[in-house]
Amino acid sequence: MRKDWIIPAWPAPANVRAFTTTRHGGASTGAWSGFNLGTRCGDNAHHVAQNRADLNAILPAAPQWLHQVHGTRVVTLPAESTAEPEADAAVTFEPGRVCAVLTADCLPVFFCNRKGNRAGVAHAGWRGLAGGVLQAIVEALEEEPAELLAWLGPAIGPTAYEVGVELTREFPAEYPAGFIRRGDRLLLDLYALARLKLAQAGVVHIGGGNYCTFTESDRFFSYRRDGVSGRMASLIWLD
Number of domains in the chain: 1
What CATH number does the domain containing 139 carry?
3.60.140.10
SS3 label, residue 232: strand
Q: How confident is the prediction along the chain (239 residues), in pLDDT tens digits per residue?
A: 787 999 999 999 999 999 999 999 999 999 999 999 999 999 999 999 999 999 999 999 999 999 999 999 999 999 887 689 999 999 999 999 999 999 999 999 999 999 999 999 999 999 999 999 999 999 999 999 999 999 999 999 999 999 999 999 999 999 999 999 999 999 999 999 999 999 999 999 999 999 999 999 999 999 999 999 999 999 999 99
pTM > 0.95: yes or no = yes
Q: Is 168 domain-assigned? A: no
Quote the pLDDT of residue 79. Answer: 87
Quote the pLDDT of residue 13. Answer: 98
Quote the pLDDT of residue 128. Answer: 98
Range of the domain at 110: 16-155+202-238
Closest CA to 58 of 101, 98, 112: 98
Closest CA to 194 of 203, 185, 186: 203
Q: Is 137 domain-assigned? A: yes
Q: Is 1 domain-assigned? A: no
Quote the pLDDT of residue 94. Answer: 98
Quote the pLDDT of residue 2. Answer: 81
Q: Is 123 domain-assigned? A: yes
Q: Do 75 and 122 contact (CB within 8 A), yes or no?
A: no
Q: Is 169 domain-assigned? A: no
Closest CA to 32 of 19, 45, 20, 15: 45
